[in-house]
Amino acid sequence: ASSSYWRGDSTRESLQRVYGISFPDQKLLK
């Protein structure tokens, strides 16, 4: 998940939506 932050806010926001749907437990990914 950390790799999604340096890409950019716009990209990160999109990834967060995907992760939120694909992986409801983002805490485990961290």
Residue 14's pLDDT is 75
Sign for the pseudo-dihedral over CA of 4, 10, 16, 19: negative
Domain boundaries, the chain: 1-30
For residue range 4-23, list pLDDT tens digits in order: 555 566 677 777 777 666 66
Tell me the CB-side half-sphere exposure of residue 7, using CA atoms within 13 A.
11
Whether the full predicted model's pTM is greater than 0.75, yes or no, is: no
Give the pLDDT band of residue 3 (cuts 50, 70, 90).
Answer: low
